[in-house]
A and B are shown apart, each in its own frame.
Chain A
Amino acid sequence: MSSLAAAESHATREPARVIQPAWVRTMHWINAFAMILMIMSGWQIYNASPLFDFRFSSNITLGGWLGGALLWHFAAMWLLVINGLVYFIVGLATGRFRRKLLPITPGGVLSDLKAALTFKLSHDDLAKYNYVQKVLYAGILLVGVVIVLSGLSMWKPVQLHWLVSLFGGYDVARFVHFVCMSLIVAFLIVHVVLALLVPRSLRAMIIGR
């Protein structure tokens, strides 16, 4: 095989290698939009009756007052839940979750975590997640499920009283909802920082490769 042919075959093979398929990209950005609306309006709702000794600044909340924030929260809710449900169904049906996120072994997580903390973790192949990524992505999917369930408990504590008792009561569900929000925000910060550090990953999430 001549070097020219090799280069050609390389060139024709390259565009076919899609790291993020279109459905992942579409749902990722819908999710990002819906989540930001949910978080900002959620902070405004929190301010009406804070669980802790602080309030969120009005510069980072959405809705202007409790009633407006509730309208935003319960509108963005549909976008988030429908998008999330489709994401879960397609992710499971296509085997993407299994392929990308499993297996997760404690040994693998420990060694990759050590490598990450010493800045030695390789990020060459964007299509393959390391164990730290696997744990974070699988974990945030789980947090997503719990925040929706705790949110449903607060929204319909009579109709879904079995769900409320699963959380250990209405007040506990409020705390769980808040803790999940905090975990998501923490994840978002790490996620965005890493995406900026590895610009190719951001490109892949926009154009696919």
Chain B
Amino acid sequence: MARKRSLLIPGVDKRLLIKDAIKVMPDLSRRRFLTGGASLGALTLLAGCDVVDSSSAEEVLKKVSKFNDAVQAWMFNPDALAPEFPESAITRPFPFNAYYDLDDAPEIDGKDWKLEVRGLVDNKKSWTLEELYKLPQVKQVTRHICVEGWSAIGSWTGTPLRDFLKLIGADTRANYVWFQCADREGYNSPLDMRTALHPQTQMTFKFADDILPRAYGYPMKIRVPTKLGFKNPKYVISMEVTNDYKGGYWEDQGYNSFSGN
């Protein structure tokens, strides 16, 4: 007991210390693709290599996931619209979902906020919220499907991303639009260009006709009804039109990058 106490540094908040320590520690459970019964000898046949060390199985799984990216891109129909629902179907309250608590969600002052535009675009000027609000907006009531399996129907109003990309003179032959967000860990995610140009992919400013609440990504989220929820960036601060695959917060941890619906 006395020994334990001596480990604590006087004057330091215990709770915060633990929180910071956890952040630095690698999350074992996230990276551990192989558990218990999974070191199956038969997998050796599949992988064509020794799977006693789990990293080679991980490599095989990543390769299959890349292949699945390609298959999904091939399956993706740019004209197929996500089903729309009546307003009565909206899930209330629409769940808050992130890798942090709502208390830790970015608090953004709309007056100071600017959307930065980078990469393969003609006009790299930054946009204020006031300027963006003046763009034509449309509403959609669509289902948000989380990678975890739950889903919720929301009402989203904003400017189709493809209209904005046209407006700024983006090279729409580029591979990706890469988004960066104001989260503490700097969430980012690449969106393939064909999905970015999908008619329902939207720069969202309103939820259920009200200014987008902080919980859902104030001042701007990217609503992509043809992707799983984790590929719908919130608190967006910049977008970059690029040919390079720059990875993403969840993609780098193993979620399939296309993750299309």
Taking beta carbons and an 8 Å cutoff, which residues of A are in contact with B?
Answer: 33, 40, 45-46, 48-49, 58-68, 70-72, 74-75, 78-79, 154, 156-159, 161, 164-165, 170-171, 174
Taking a contact as CB atoms under 8 Å apart, the answer to whether B143 and A72 are in contact is no
* Proximity string of chain B (15-51) to chain A, C-beta cutoff 8 Å, 1 when within and 0 when not: 0000000000000011111111110101000100000
Taking a contact as CB atoms under 8 Å apart, the answer to whether A65 and B32 are in contact is yes
Among B35, B60, B250, the residue within 8 A (CB) of A58 is B35
Taking the closest CB of chain A, its distance from the CB of B151, in whole angstroms, is 6
Tell me, in angstroms, the Cα distance from A60 to B38 when the chains sit together: 10
Taking a contact as CB atoms under 8 Å apart, the answer to whether B83 and A161 are in contact is yes
Taking a contact as CB atoms under 8 Å apart, the answer to whether A64 and B76 are in contact is no
Taking the closest CB of chain B, its distance from the CB of A102, in whole angstroms, is 33
Query: Assuming A45-B149, A156-B261, is B38 touching A62 (CB within 8 A)?
Result: yes
Taking a contact as CB atoms under 8 Å apart, the answer to whether A61 and B35 are in contact is yes
Taking the closest CB of chain B, its distance from the CB of A25, in whole angstroms, is 15
Write the chain B residue with the least CB distance to A68: B33
State whether the Cβ of B80 lies closer than 8 Å to any Cβ in chain A.
yes
Taking CB atoms, residues of chain B closer than 8 Å to A59 are 36
Taking the closest CB of chain A, its distance from the CB of B202, in whole angstroms, is 15
Taking the closest CB of chain A, its distance from the CB of B227, in whole angstroms, is 9
Taking CB atoms, residues of chain B closer than 8 Å to A75 are 60-61, 64-65
Taking a contact as CB atoms under 8 Å apart, the answer to whether A67 and B261 are in contact is no
Taking a contact as CB atoms under 8 Å apart, the answer to whether A158 and B226 are in contact is yes
Taking a contact as CB atoms under 8 Å apart, the answer to whether B33 and A157 are in contact is no
State whether the Cβ of B254 lies closer than 8 Å to any Cβ in chain A.
yes
Q: Which of A67, A156, A170 has the most CB of B within 10 A?
A: A67
Taking a contact as CB atoms under 8 Å apart, the answer to whether B255 and A64 are in contact is no
* Proximity string of chain B (134-154) to chain A, C-beta cutoff 8 Å, 1 when within and 0 when not: 000000000101111111000
Taking CB atoms, residues of chain B closer than 8 Å to A164 are 83
Tell me, in angstroms, the Cα distance from A164 to B34 when the chains sit together: 32
Taking a contact as CB atoms under 8 Å apart, the answer to whether A67 and B143 are in contact is no
Tell me, in angstroms, the Cα distance from A130 to B80 when the chains sit together: 48
Taking a contact as CB atoms under 8 Å apart, the answer to whether A49 and B150 are in contact is yes
Taking a contact as CB atoms under 8 Å apart, the answer to whether A67 and B148 are in contact is no
State whether the Cβ of B6 lies closer than 8 Å to any Cβ in chain A.
no
Tell me, in angstroms, the Cα distance from A61 to B146 when the chains sit together: 20
The 6 residue pairs across chains A and B that have the minimum distance between CB atoms = A64-B32, A67-B254, A68-B33, A48-B148, A49-B148, A75-B64
Query: B interface, by DSSP: helix, strand, loop or mixed?
Result: loop
Query: Assuming A67-B253, A161-B83, is B151 touching A170 (CB within 8 A)?
Result: yes
Query: Assuming A49-B150, A170-B143, is B33 touching A156 (CB within 8 A)?
Result: no
Taking beta carbons and an 8 Å cutoff, which residues of B are in contact with A?
Answer: 29-38, 40, 42, 46, 60-62, 64-65, 68, 75-77, 80-83, 143, 145-151, 225-226, 250, 253-256, 260-261
Taking CB atoms, residues of chain B closer than 8 Å to A174 are 149
Among A40, A58, A68, A158, the residue within 8 A (CB) of B80 is A158
Instruction: Write 30 A-B pairs (CB below 8 A) sorted by A numbering.
Output: A33-B40, A40-B38, A48-B148, A49-B146, A49-B149, A60-B37, A61-B35, A63-B33, A64-B31, A65-B32, A66-B147, A67-B30, A67-B255, A68-B32, A68-B61, A70-B256, A71-B61, A71-B62, A154-B149, A157-B261, A158-B80, A158-B81, A158-B82, A158-B225, A158-B261, A159-B77, A159-B260, A161-B80, A170-B145, A174-B149
Taking the closest CB of chain B, its distance from the CB of A185, in whole angstroms, is 15
Write the chain A residue with the least CB distance to B27: A65
Tell me, in angstroms, the Cα distance from A74 to B145 when the chains sit together: 17
Tell me, in angstroms, the Cα distance from A187 to B79 when the chains sit together: 41
Taking CB atoms, residues of chain A closer than 8 Å to B226 are 158
Taking a contact as CB atoms under 8 Å apart, the answer to whether B82 and A64 are in contact is no
Taking the closest CB of chain A, its distance from the CB of B225, in whole angstroms, is 7
Taking CB atoms, residues of chain B closer than 8 Å to A40 are 37-38
Taking a contact as CB atoms under 8 Å apart, the answer to whether B260 and A156 are in contact is yes
Tell me, in angstroms, the Cα distance from A36 to B44 when the chains sit together: 16
Taking the closest CB of chain A, its distance from the CB of B184, in whole angstroms, is 21
Taking CB atoms, residues of chain B closer than 8 Å to A158 are 80-83, 225-226, 260-261
Taking the closest CB of chain B, its distance from the CB of A188, in whole angstroms, is 15
Q: Which of B30, B34, B38 has the most CB of A within 10 A?
A: B38
Query: Assuming A63-B35, A67-B255, A74-B68, is B143 touching A157 (CB within 8 A)?
Result: yes
